Chain A
Amino acid sequence: MSGNRQVTSAASRWRAPVLFLILAALFFAEGTFRNAMFSGSWNISLAILNMGLISAITALGLNMQWGYAGLFNVGVVGFLALGGLAPVLIALPPVEGAWGAGGMRIIAALVTGIGSLALASLVWRRGRGKVGALATAGVLVLGFFLFRWVFDPAVAAIEANQSARYGNIGGLGWPVLLSWPIGGLFAAAAAWAVGKVALGLRSDYLAIATLGIGEIIVAVLKNEEWLARGVKNITSIPRPVPYEIELQRNPDFQSFANSWSTSAAEASGIWVKLCYMSLFLVVLLAIILLAELALKSPWGRMMRAIRDNETAAEAMGKDVTARHLQVFIIGCGVIGMAGAMMITLDGLMAPTSYNPLRYTFLIWVMVIIGGSGNNWGAVLGAVLIWFLWIKVEVWGPELIGLLTAPMPAGAVKDHLLDSAPHMRFIAMGMILLLVLRFAPRGLLPER
């Protein structure tokens, strides 16, 4: 509501720079000081920062949906995972014989599947009453069996192809950077399908729909071995930056490392991470720039108007559902891109690691704590929460060790020490609850 926008006072003008400085100081401390709280390793500090930047991009995507349009997306993990499929399919070298074994058939199956869905929706819209519903159901059932009939042999053939090493469709061998926007497109396409259904109903059912699609996408990745080897994981995804081992062999780099009086091993790690950081920063800043421009454009004003007063916007002839669908797709696209970047950074696609608590709800914590609707807030919240998420795992045992030091050795003490790493969940929950209670508009409230 417009009444909520505060007058920009001197305090709130300095708020963002000061908080970002504090954040920077944390990372500096992590890289420099070696003590109970910090590791004193720039490699660790930059590793946290890189993942923090990816979280920031994810949070930006979510913030577009939540902050601009008030959409409650709890399927972030799914869109992130779907985006992560892109580096696998784009950048990996092709698997010999895979396409010949069943590539065309897979494509034909997908076309069949999508075609029957489209046909079903056409019948549904044209048809009336019970007959229409029955016809739609008939088309869907027939389409499903047709899809399986085309699809199953192709899957079997691909998975049989060099099953020990590959058994998957393989990639196209294109540059991995290309897979980032393509990951975004994957997620956006899925978002279009979900949003089309869940946003069109009498009131939204987006939360439950996204919760469902998130689980389904992750299940597909775990289960469809032909796609990305499922739970067997994909490793050695190509990098957009040099490998440490190449740098260490390079004499120029060795002398460069010596001039900074570090070992080539450490310097190479830092160098690689700095390269990644630069790439991520470019993407992050570009997205923020675009997001801020969009928000200040007539489109952005309309989005805000719709969010603030849907009824009035509807009465003025704005198509609320279409706008919501639009921003949902864009947000998911950004999340998908972050997913592709994450897989590129890790060099590994492990579907079992996609845990909703970590990849959906932690992102929510980041957005709420940063400040709903504020892009810089989302970035701040994401990097800060990611830093805490990593560090609390270290600080928890330290703290418990300190607290239990006077206790006699025994089962209770062992149990407490063993379970200390789980403190991070309680800590995150507490942080979220405290912010909701005392600063529900977040660290950097929306202007």
Chain B
Amino acid sequence: MDILNALVAFLNFVFIPAASYGAQLALGALGVTLIYGILRFSNFAHGDTMAFGTAIVIILTWGLQGLGVNLGPLPTALLALPLGIALTALLVLGTDRVVYRFYRVNKSAPIIMVMASVGVMFVMNGLTRLLIGVDDQIFTDGARFVIDVRSFRDWSGLDEGLALRTTQVLTLVVAVLVVWALFRFLNRTKSGKAMRAYSDNEDLALLSGIEPERVVRITWIIAAALMVIAGTLYGLDKSFGPFNYFQMLLPIFASAIVGGLGNPVGAIAGGFLVAFSEVAVTYPWRKIVGYLAPDWQPDGLLQLLSTEYKFAVSFMILIAVLLFRPTGLFRGKSV
């Protein structure tokens, strides 16, 4: 019984939160890694573009809620998502046209695009503030729980409760679907293969008749979709804070680098690795240990680091991986 309680506590406090957070990080890291592979730079505007895209989704959601439209148990934001993605994609394509294309055509060193992305980051940050203000917003609706603590206790007869929030299930389901679709696109379709070919060898891709600008456009659209989906899922799961997304830049970059920049499989693995480590290191294990070893009464909470230091975890993993495998877990290279 105690083992079961420990297992439930583990699922409830470590596994489920880490899995949904990991899925959000993985989607974010996929966007970063695609842009790095195709456009050859790390996009510092990623976090703030995520915030902006999510802000659009939130406003559309409010509009739908105002009209009385809803999805029953599912959050209304899901309905607003496609339009939010489309609008963000337009914005991002516009940014590319006005900002990045110039440097690409001139074959500038990619560092100048990194700098430009800092400029875009400022603009996106300002636009987000203009659009939705600086306060946290909660825009989730529908059923809050798939399984709630009380009914789980009644059903199982265990002391420990298990809560499974709708947003957590939704995050995982959507992430799996998105990743499946993305990989299908990259590995099965002509355009997806052309993207990988371009990231391998730009000149040969051009000589094969692949249009570079088209590849870049598709990349931005996919990246925008990933950003808005990741941002919306994160916002639904936690809450929407315009500045939280900037803070996510570090774990997202860490995930992408740990997995091997430019490698989509690596981005996903990196996202989950970072998320699970963060949660595991900052979770107070006292309760679970209490079930497993009832005789041992430790003084502390058995928390390795306090929650505020979760950044330190991404950082440590990053350093450790880079020391052992300088190119990341899954070799850099190739979208």
Contacts and interface: CB of A to CB of B under 8 A. Distances in A.
Interface in B109-128: 111-112, 114-116, 118-127
B257 interface: yes
A296 B322 CA distance: 36
A424 interface: yes
A368 B129 contact: no
B314 A202 contact: no
B133 A429 contact: no
Contacts of B306: 223
Given A197-B319, A202-B326, A223-B306, A425 B42 contact: no
B324 A212 contact: no
Contacts, number: 120
A341 to B, nearest CB: 25
B311 to A, nearest CB: 4
A428 B122 contact: yes
A201 interface: yes
A427 B125 CA distance: 11
Interface string A403-447: 000000000000000110011111111101100110010000000
Given A223-B308, A368-B115, A356 B122 contact: no
B126 A219 contact: no
Given A211-B253, A357-B246, A430 B123 contact: yes
A361 B123 contact: no
Given A213-B315, A219-B308, A422-B130, A433 B123 contact: yes
Contacts of B309: 216, 219-220, 223
Interface in B278-319: 300, 304, 306, 308-309, 311-312, 314-315, 318-319
Interface residues of A, number: 45
B102 interface: yes
A207 B110 CA distance: 14
Given A419-B130, A426-B127, A205 B257 contact: yes
Interface string A169-181: 0000000000000
Contacts of B99: 433, 437
A292 interface: no
A357 B114 contact: no
B253 A429 contact: no
A208 B318 contact: yes
Contact of A437 (B102, B121, B124, B125): B102
A72 B118 CA distance: 12
Nearest to B257: A208
A426 B45 CA distance: 13
Contacts of A356: 246
A205 B116 contact: no
B129 A211 contact: no
A133 interface: yes
B323 to A, nearest CB: 7
Contacts of A215: 247, 250, 311, 315
B126 A423 contact: yes
Contacts of A209: 315, 318-319
B249 interface: yes
A422 B322 contact: no
Contacts of B127: 426
A140 B251 CA distance: 22
A96 interface: no
Contact of A422 (B112, B118, B126, B323): B126
A133 B118 contact: no
Given A207-B42, A432-B119, A436-B119, A216 B311 contact: yes
B269 interface: no
Given A429-B119, A433-B119, A208 B300 contact: no
Interface of A: 72, 74, 133, 144, 152, 197-198, 201-203, 205, 207-209, 211-213, 215-216, 219-220, 222-223, 356-357, 361, 364-365, 368, 418-419, 422-430, 432-433, 436-437, 440
Smallest CB-CB A-B distances: 7 pairs: A429-B122, A425-B126, A429-B123, A426-B126, A212-B315, A432-B119, A422-B129
Interface of B: 42, 44, 99, 102, 111-112, 114-116, 118-127, 129-130, 133-134, 246-247, 249-250, 253-254, 257, 300, 304, 306, 308-309, 311-312, 314-315, 318-319, 322-324, 326-327
Given A209-B319, A222-B308, A368-B115, 14 more contacts: A72-B114, A144-B304, A201-B326, A202-B326, A207-B42, A219-B308, A219-B309, A357-B125, A422-B130, A424-B126, A426-B122, A426-B126, A426-B130, A427-B126
